[in-house]
Amino acid sequence: MISKNFSIKFYKKFKTTTNLLILLLMPVVYYLLISGFNSEINADAESNLIANINSNSNIKTSASVKPFYSPPPAESKDFINCIFNNSPGDWMYDDQNNICWTIENKIGKYNELHFNTIHTYMDANPYSTGESGTNRFGFIKAMKNTQYQIPHFNSLMDAVGAGGLKGIYSQVNMTNFCYGQSLRYEAEGGNWGFSYGINKGCLEQDQNRMVLHAYANGNCNEWDAAPKYILENITENLQHTDISGGKPNDLGTWKIRPMMKIKLSDFDPNCTTEVARIDIFKFGQSDTPIKSINIKVRNFKKQNGGNYEGDYIEDFNFTDENPTIDLNISGSTNGGLAQGWNDWSPGWDQSCHVDFKVWWYGQTDVWIDYVEVNDKIGEELLNGDFDEVIQQEAREFAGHNTNISFFTDEVTYSNYPCINYIKNLIAPYGGKLTCALSQYHNLRSQKDNTACYVPLMSKLNLPFYDVNALEIIEGLIPPMYNNINDVPGFHPNWKTTSDDNYTQSLQLKLLGDKTSNSITLNENTYYSYPEQQRVFIPSSRGSYIYQLEKAKQQRDIYSPASKIILQPQLQGSLTPDDNDPSIWNFCGVREPTNEELSAQAMIAIAHGVDGLCWFIYHSWYSLSNSMIQDRGFFQGWENQPENGKPWYDFGLTMLNENNTVNCNERTSNLYHQNKWQAVKDMNLKIELWKPTLDKINWQNAYSVHSEGVHYNYIDNIQSVDPSQNGFNNGCYFDGPEWLDCLEERFWEIGFFNDPENAAIKYFMMVNRRCIPKDENNYTPDNRILRIAFESDNLPSAANTWNISEVGSFTNPPVTFSRFYNGFVDMGNNEGNMGWFKPGEGKLFKLEPVVSGGVMLADENISGDQEITLTDTLFTNGFNLTIEEGAKLHFTDSSTIVVDGGFFTAGDLDYQGSDKITFDAAEGNHFNGLVFNNADVRIYHSEFSGLANDTTYAVNTIDCPVVDIRRSLFTAGNDNLKGALNISCLTRDDYNIYIGANTFEAGISNIPFVNIMAYAEVSAPAIVENNTFNSTAGASALMLSGITGGAV
Shared domain check, 856 and 845: no
- Residue 502 forms beta bridges with which residues? none
Task: Considering only residues 418 and 345, tell me which one the structure prediction assigns the higher pLDDT.
Answer: 418
Range of the domain at 823: 698-849
Shared domain check, 870 and 818: no
Query: Above pLDDT 70, what percent of the chain?
Result: 89
User: Which of residues 814, 849, 884 is at a domain's end?
Assistant: 849
Q: What band does 518 get if pLDDT is binned at 50, 70 and 90?
A: low
Q: How far is 996 from 1024, CA to CA, in rounded Å?
A: 7
Shared domain check, 985 and 886: yes
User: Which of residues 823, 849, 875 is at a domain's end?
Assistant: 849
In the chain, the number of structural domains is 3
Shared domain check, 271 and 189: yes
- Residue 926 forms beta bridges with which residues? 946
Taking residues 50-78, report their average pLDDT: 53
- pLDDT computed for residue 19 by the predictor: 32
Q: How far is 626 from 633, CA to CA, in rounded Å?
A: 16
Give, to the nearest 10 degrees, the angle between helix 416-426 and helix 387-397: 50
Q: Is residue 547 part of a domain?
A: no
CATH code, domain with 293 = 2.60.120
CB of 938 closer than 8 Å to CB of 902? no
Q: What band does 691 get if pLDDT is binned at 50, 70 and 90?
A: very high
Q: Is residue 798 part of a domain?
A: yes
Q: What is the mean pLDDT of the chain?
A: 88
- The secondary structure of 694-746 as a DSSP string is TT-EEEEEEEHHHH-S-BTTEEEEEEE-TT--S--TTT----SS-B--GGG--
Burial 886-904 (b: 16+ CB within 10 A, else e): bbbbbbebbbbbbebbbbb
Shared domain check, 858 and 780: no
Q: Which of these, 114, 119, 101, lies nearest to 63 by C-alpha position?
A: 114
DSSP 506: I
Shared domain check, 976 and 837: no
Shared domain check, 831 and 707: yes
Shared domain check, 858 and 725: no
- pLDDT computed for residue 22 by the predictor: 34
Q: Is residue 281 part of a domain?
A: yes
Taking residues 125-146, report their average pLDDT: 92
Shared domain check, 936 and 914: yes
CB of 574 closer than 8 Å to CB of 587? yes
Q: How far is 918 from 897, CA to CA, in rounded Å?
A: 14
- pLDDT computed for residue 200 by the predictor: 94
- Residue 701 forms beta bridges with which residues? 750
Q: Is residue 864 part of a domain?
A: yes
Shared domain check, 897 and 837: no
Q: Is residue 174 part of a domain?
A: no
Shared domain check, 360 and 243: yes
Taking residues 383-407, report their average pLDDT: 97
Shared domain check, 717 and 786: yes
- pLDDT computed for residue 139 by the predictor: 96
Q: Is residue 209 part of a domain?
A: yes
pTM of the model: 0.89
pLDDT tens track for 531-589: 778 888 888 888 999 999 999 999 999 999 999 999 999 999 888 877 777 777 777 68
Q: Is residue 336 part of a domain?
A: yes
Q: What band does 1032 get if pLDDT is binned at 50, 70 and 90?
A: confident
- pLDDT computed for residue 280 by the predictor: 98
Q: Is residue 107 part of a domain?
A: no
User: Which of residues 329, 346, 381 is at a domain's end?
Assistant: 381
